[in-house]
Structure 1
Amino acid sequence: MENNTIPLAILIAVLLVITTIIFEWPCYMKLRKLPPGPTGIPIFGCLPQMLLNKPTFRWIHSVMDNMNTEIACIRLGGVHVIPVTSPELAREFLKKQDSTFASRPDCMSGRLSSNGYLTAVLTPMGDQWKKMRKVLATNILSPAKHNWLHDKRMEEADNLILYVYNQCKNSLEAGGLVNVRIAAQQYCGNVIRRLIFNKRHFGNGKEDGGPGPEEVEHVAALFTILTYIYGFSIADYIPWLEIFDFDDHKAILKKAIANITKYHDPEIDDRIQMWGKGMIAMEEDILDVLINLKDLKGAPLLTNEEIKALIVEIMLATVDNPSNAIEWALAEMINQPEILKRALEELDIVVGRDRLVQESDLTYLKYVKACAKETFRIHPIAPFNVPHVSMEDATVGGYFIPKGSHVLLSRPGLGRNPRIWEEPLKFKPERHLKDDCSDVVLTDSNLRMLSFSTGRRGCAGVLLGSTMTTMLFARLIHGFSWNAPPDVPNIDLTESEGDLLLAKPLLALAKPRLSEHVYQQLGN
């Protein structure tokens, strides 16, 4: 009799606990005040609204605008998604309570893109993240390594000028139409391929210095992954639905990753074998460095799979921000020629017209950097930063943030916040120039805009990203005069509906403006 009573008592206790949770949880959550947000339904939360209102980032911002709030709570499946457009609250999340919000989501898109969380940026908090973050900060993106890789970056800066010049050389006086998006994106791809693999092309490229089909496919695959990482897939919020892949996010990601690894893996495998056979004596690029890292016992620090995953992540972190910023900046400045004129005057004073911009010049190009920073503010590449996940219950701004919440800092929400910025939609680079004439940096420590993230999960590549952005921008506007195409009075600054890019790639008329010998030297 006693043997039957004990299991029955346990069952009754479990049922009581479950019943209490079901009926008391909503009351508990009301007592713990969540940020305002739309009402969802059991199990699915606001997923139906999300699916009916694409693109999701515009729906989220519309919800916040309609509720007149700078922080919201939108439940997607079992996840509380917390979008933020307030700099004060952003500092609370990423500075004051940084240790609480320093993890990443465990979800389909993050797992696939990091090959099972072998990397640094996408990996949840833990020993693997600490290991890979240290590798990035100490061995790859340190100031010393940045200096070591200087010549490779300059090779690609020279190739950029030669490529654009070749678009003009059939008629130097009339100039040539240049697709700035292609030039900027491929420059970023060229730089990071050169830094990692010590080569610009996976194939033969083109005679004019432009990308071949292999490079076009490679860069397109990188941008596809960037679009779908944390791209509001159903499976990211209700994991058991991943098998069905209702929105095709998983299939798209897997195809893009396969397109990248078919170029990367043979390069990496061959290099590892060459080092193993003693065929290489000196490190020349990032891949060599990663292969030769050792642990305290003298064994390889990284597995082959970790090297491959980390290289994909470095690629992803490099190609988008600089290329998008320069396309938007040039479009804005063609429409406001007085801004372009001021930037050119600075370049001509600092550099002149008998040589090309060098990295050593960048410190003195304050107005040029102010233009780049203003572009990061008003035209960010992504609607949100990489999600921060709360590792425990917290209170921010008087609101309860449950453990496991995904905190999304809105890049356009911060950079275009009318409470913070005067004329927030107007392109005004001078707003970033300081009275004390100090250097202009592309970051904002007060998080009034988000170009590179901060805190424990801050971007380890700020130096590289800032250098690439400024060099790309300075080289293009110093080396060529830029105007709208013939019969086009102004550049159309319409933003794409599905993302934050220009709706149409920027086509602009470029004409060489430096001494002829400067360009001729590049062809030798």
Structure 2
Amino acid sequence: MDTVYEESSLYSSLVVLLVTVVGVSLYLWMSKKLNKGKPPLPPGPRGLPFVGILPFIEVGIHRYFAKLSETYGPIMKLNLGSKVCVVLSSSSIAKEVLKDHDAIFANRDPNIAALAVSYGGSDITWSPNGANWRMMRKVFTQELMSNKSIDACYRLRQQEVRKMVRQVYSKTGELINISEMIFGTMFNLVLNMLCGGMLREEDKVKISAELRPVIKQMITLVAKPNISDMIPILSQFDIQGIKREGKKLSSEMDRIFDSILDKRIKILDDEMQGMGSEDNNKETKDFLQILLQLQQQEDGTYLTNAHLKNLFLDAIAGATDSTSINVEWAMAELILNPEKLKKAKEELDQVVGMKNIVEEYHLSKMSYLDAVLKEAHRLHPVVPLLVPHRSSESCTVGGYTVPKGSTVFINVWKMHRDPDEWESPTEFIPERFLADSDKYDYRGNNYNFLPFGSGRRICVGIPLATKMGLYVIASLLHSFDWELLKKEQLDLLDKYRILSKIASPLEITPTPRLPKPELYV
């Protein structure tokens, strides 16, 4: 009896094995037949089963990808866990993705933390390409980033920049962490533009104290490596607690924003009843006021409070860290290149004069300082791999097939240092941007220079970011001389967490440069 059972069991096992072999063979044959004539997948490192190349990644993933591209070429495929990724490292191939096939690659690939802090990925940065994203982008670009709206906030920006100068003046001779100082200035500046037109000074201080750590924690969380992003089958367990932390921060953000919104709606109601007057001043109109007024218009734009929160979050999170990082890189490079710093100060002396303070109307005449910031963007792009794209269908790029659902990284750090496109690519040479400034603007049409991306998913905050960055660095350089007290060479190694910061924060000491103390009041 046992022998019959064993024979039956063995027979069944052989049948299962045979069916499996036939099934796999049929699948491979059909796949080969269906893919016959299609370009192959891009070359790349094989990696290990289940984890891909994760065990081999080196510190500074943009530099690691650049090193791999020397072996596998300007387009390569690799696996980060079970996630299929394609990395582009040349301007010609980047153009195929960002222009020729822009619609196919118009979706993002948000990680778990980004989804948690951005209301399910419904903000401008992470929202999928569609009606909701187009509506929010239209509001942001036409209502908040228009010249009219930015000009209406001029006094608010001016107040914050003057406050920064006074703060630095009070710390004459002291060591200043320039990164923290600039981040704080940029944060308060953007907050002032968003809702400063209706807030008393004590309100601003309170809101800034509550909101600033939440925003910093959100940025840190989105940048934190998460095994569940690489191996999605583990996401249900939330092993690192990132999803829980993201929801907690999002709830805290809701509480703070709701209190701001309630105050602004009350003031707007008072104005409509004729009880307010000062806030009607267009010179001090803030972005939140613009959004609330737009929400009440019946023009076919449907703006919910969730949309307002997302737009608020996009503006404050997007402008603060990225702009302050760019200014810090520029300041560090100038300090290490005294002859470039001298040129920048000579331009400031000529445009502004030693008896005046920097105003925004001076900025259009600061071609050299603008070139300094562009060179900092080239050599140290704030987002060296850009925000990742995701292919909505299979597509041929660079002669290879990019599969549907692939995560696409564009290594602008590598592209900005391409010796075939840039002379002396690792040197800090702002003059390279003076010969033909129109050739190297921020609009993403020159694929050798893409600090803000390109195509329909290009950064929507470029007008504000570039204006604010130039205004802040001009004010710091014109009002003060800066000294690096530590005589050893400043290490410009970067620290990558989606954004690329200086690994060792720049600490420098200010000395007043202008002749009259009243210019610092």
* TM superposition score normalised by structure 2: 0.84
Matched ranges for 1:61-460 at <5 A? 61=65, 64-65=68-69, 67-76=71-80, 79-105=83-109, 107-168=111-172, 175-198=173-196, 204=202, 215=208, 218-229=211-222, 233-275=226-268, 284-294=285-295, 297=298, 301-434=302-435, 441-442=441-442, 445-460=445-460
**What's the CA shift for 1:154?**
1.2
The code of the aligned residue for 1:323 comes to S
Contact 2:186 2:319 in 1 (8 A): yes
SS of match in other structure, 2:509: strand
Contact 2:107 2:390 in 1 (8 A): yes
**What's the CA shift for 1:247?**
3.8
Residues 1:231 and 1:396: Cα distance change in structure 2 (over 3 Å): farther
**What's the CA shift for 1:349?**
0.7
The code of the aligned residue for 1:511 comes to T
**What's the CA shift for 1:324?**
0.8
How many angstroms apart in 1 are the aligned matches of 2:439 and 2:34?
Answer: 50
Residues 1:246 and 1:62: Cα distance change in structure 2 (over 3 Å): farther
How many angstroms apart in 2 are the aligned matches of 1:139 and 1:233?
Answer: 36
How many angstroms apart in 1 are the aligned matches of 2:405 and 2:200?
Answer: 41
Residues 1:455 and 1:185: Cα distance change in structure 2 (over 3 Å): same
In the TM superposition, what whole-angstrom CA distance separates every residue of 1:290-334 from its partner, at most 9, and x where no partner exists? 222248856883111221122112212101222111111111111
SS of match in other structure, 1:293: helix
> Match for residue 11 of structure 2?
none
How many angstroms apart in 2 are the aligned matches of 1:481 and 1:242?
Answer: 51
**What's the CA shift for 1:470?**
0.7
How many angstroms apart in 2 are the aligned matches of 1:238 and 1:264?
Answer: 34
Matched ranges for 1:506-521 at <5 A? 506-520=506-520
How many angstroms apart in 2 are the aligned matches of 1:229 and 1:377?
Answer: 24
How many angstroms apart in 1 are the aligned matches of 2:237 and 2:199?
Answer: 37
- Point out the structure with max Rg over C-alpha: 2
Contact 1:201 1:214 in 2 (8 A): no
SS of match in other structure, 1:474: helix
How many angstroms apart in 2 are the aligned matches of 1:183 and 1:73?
Answer: 40
Contact 2:444 2:458 in 1 (8 A): no
Contact 2:175 2:509 in 1 (8 A): yes
The code of the aligned residue for 1:246 comes to I
**What's the CA shift for 1:438?**
6.6
SS of match in other structure, 2:500: coil
- Greater fraction helix: 2
Contact 2:117 2:249 in 1 (8 A): no
Residues 1:237 and 1:321: Cα distance change in structure 2 (over 3 Å): same
In the TM superposition, what whole-angstrom CA distance separates every residue of 1:206-263 from its partner, at most 9, and x where no partner exists? xxxxx97964664444344334437553333544422222344334434444454443
In the TM superposition, what whole-angstrom CA distance separates every residue of 1:382-401 from its partner, at most 9, and x where no partner exists? 23211122222211111111
1:34 pairs, out of 41, 44, 48, with: 41
**What's the CA shift for 1:477?**
0.7
Residues 1:271 and 1:325: Cα distance change in structure 2 (over 3 Å): same
User: Which moved further from structure 2: 250-259 or 177-186?
Assistant: 250-259
In the TM superposition, what whole-angstrom CA distance separates every residue of 1:126-148 from its partner, at most 9, and x where no partner exists? 11111111111111111211111
**What's the CA shift for 1:445?**
2.6
> Match for residue 466 of structure 1?
466
Residues 1:353 and 1:37: Cα distance change in structure 2 (over 3 Å): same
Contact 1:374 1:432 in 2 (8 A): yes
Residues 1:17 and 1:355: Cα distance change in structure 2 (over 3 Å): farther
The code of the aligned residue for 2:479 comes to G
Contact 1:217 1:259 in 2 (8 A): no
Residues 1:237 and 1:345: Cα distance change in structure 2 (over 3 Å): same
Contact 1:195 1:285 in 2 (8 A): yes
Residues 1:58 and 1:297: Cα distance change in structure 2 (over 3 Å): closer
User: Which moved further from structure 2: 253-262 or 185-194?
Assistant: 253-262
The code of the aligned residue for 1:226 comes to I
User: Which moved further from structure 2: 282-291 or 213-222?
Assistant: 213-222
How many angstroms apart in 2 are the aligned matches of 1:266 and 1:189?
Answer: 18
> Match for residue 476 of structure 1?
476
User: Which moved further from structure 2: 50-59 or 156-165?
Assistant: 50-59
Percent of paired sites with the same residue: 29
Contiguous gaps of at least 5 residues in structure 2: 1-18
Contact 2:368 2:431 in 1 (8 A): yes
In the TM superposition, what whole-angstrom CA distance separates every residue of 1:340-359 from its partner, at most 9, and x where no partner exists? 00110011011101111111
How many angstroms apart in 1 are the aligned matches of 2:224 and 2:35?
Answer: 28
Residues 1:18 and 1:127: Cα distance change in structure 2 (over 3 Å): farther
How many angstroms apart in 2 are the aligned matches of 1:386 and 1:402?
Answer: 19
**What's the CA shift for 1:179?**
1.6
Contact 2:44 2:77 in 1 (8 A): yes
Residues 1:149 and 1:77: Cα distance change in structure 2 (over 3 Å): same
Contact 1:193 1:199 in 2 (8 A): no
